[in-house]
């Protein structure tokens, strides 16, 4: 009987190891929503200064590294809107609010809170870019991950402090799986 228990225990451990390896192969999560097309326009009328420089870089990173074609427009119309403003001491530096129906985004607003990220210097642009990458990630369907060296880590500024400067292979795989 001991042989059967040992065999069963070895089988269970082996199965868990294989399963865990498969989880690492897809180290991204999704919101359960996506746009109907991989061509996505971002309304940037309410993004200014260094925040605008940073969002242009983030949009370019998505377009060059993934199957999504993202562009910015200075006009109303797109369902995806971006804005930076002083929202006060809310507890969040960046946020994406969305409406989703049947797995499709109807509208998304990606925000950066200037209370925590004033963006007063050009040296702030790389960090702002990572926060925009994070919020735009939510805006196209990516969820949070637990690995700190990823754009979609719970705190984009913490990811930035740990060396993240652009989309990683996990975000790229996630976006390409969605679109």
**Per the domain annotation, does 17 fall within a domain?**
no
**Per the domain annotation, does 76 fall within a domain?**
yes
- Pairing status of strand 94-101 against strand 104-113: antiparallel
**Per the domain annotation, does 20 fall within a domain?**
no
Q: Please tell me the distance from the alpha carbon of residue 37 to that of residue 68, in angstroms, as a whole number.
A: 8
Q: Which residues pair with 46 in a beta bridge?
A: 83
**Per the domain annotation, does 2 fall within a domain?**
no
Give pLDDT tens digits for 77-133.
889 999 999 999 999 999 999 999 999 999 999 999 999 999 999 999 999 999 999
- Reading the block at residue 155, the tokens are 């705190």
Identify the burial level of 138 via C-beta atoms within 10 angstroms of its C-beta, where 0-12 means exposed, 13-18 middle and 19 or more buried: buried
**Per the domain annotation, does 98 fall within a domain?**
yes
Residue that has been written with the tokens 């996505």 in this structure: 40
Domain that holds residue 129: 29-178
Helix axes 49-65, 125-140, angle to 10 degrees: 50
**Per the domain annotation, does 19 fall within a domain?**
no
Q: Please tell me the distance from the alpha carbon of residue 49 to that of residue 58, in angstroms, as a whole number.
A: 15
| Closest by CA position to 93, among listed 54, 125, 128 | 128
Q: Please tell me the distance from the alpha carbon of residue 126 to that of residue 67, in angstroms, as a whole number.
A: 23
**Per the domain annotation, does 136 fall within a domain?**
yes
Q: Is 7 helix (H, G, I), strand (E, B) or coil?
A: helix
Say how many domains are in the chain: 1
Residue 46: pLDDT band (50, 70, 90) is very high
**Per the domain annotation, does 143 fall within a domain?**
yes
Residue 15: pLDDT band (50, 70, 90) is very low
Give pLDDT tens digits for 140-175.
999 999 999 999 999 999 999 999 999 999 999 999
Q: What is the CATH number of the domain that holds 71?
A: 3.40.390.10
Neighbours of 30 (CB within 10 A): 16
């Amino acid at each position: 009987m001991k042989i059967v228990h040992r065999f069963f225990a070895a089988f269970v451990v082996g199965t868990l190891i294989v399963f865990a390896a498969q989880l690492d192969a897809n180290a991204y999560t999704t919101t359960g929503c996506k746009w109907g097309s991989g061509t996505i326009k971002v309304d940037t009328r309410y993004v200014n200064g260094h925040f605008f420089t940073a969002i242009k870089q983030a949009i370019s990173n998505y377009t060059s590294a993934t199957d999504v074609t993202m562009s910015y427009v200075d006009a109303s119309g797109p369902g995806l809107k971006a804005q930076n403003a002083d929202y006060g001491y809310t507890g969040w530096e960046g946020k994406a609010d969305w409406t989703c129906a049947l797995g499709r985004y109807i509208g998304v607003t990606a925000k950066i809170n200037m209370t925590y990220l004033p963006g007063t210097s050009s040296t702030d642009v790389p960090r702002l870019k990572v926060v925009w990458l994070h919020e735009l990630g939510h805006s196209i369907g990516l969820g949070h991950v637990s690995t700190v060296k990823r754009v979609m880590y719970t705190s984009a500024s913490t990811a930035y402090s740990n060396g993240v400067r652009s989309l990683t292979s996990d975000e790229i795989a996630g976006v390409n799986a969605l679109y």
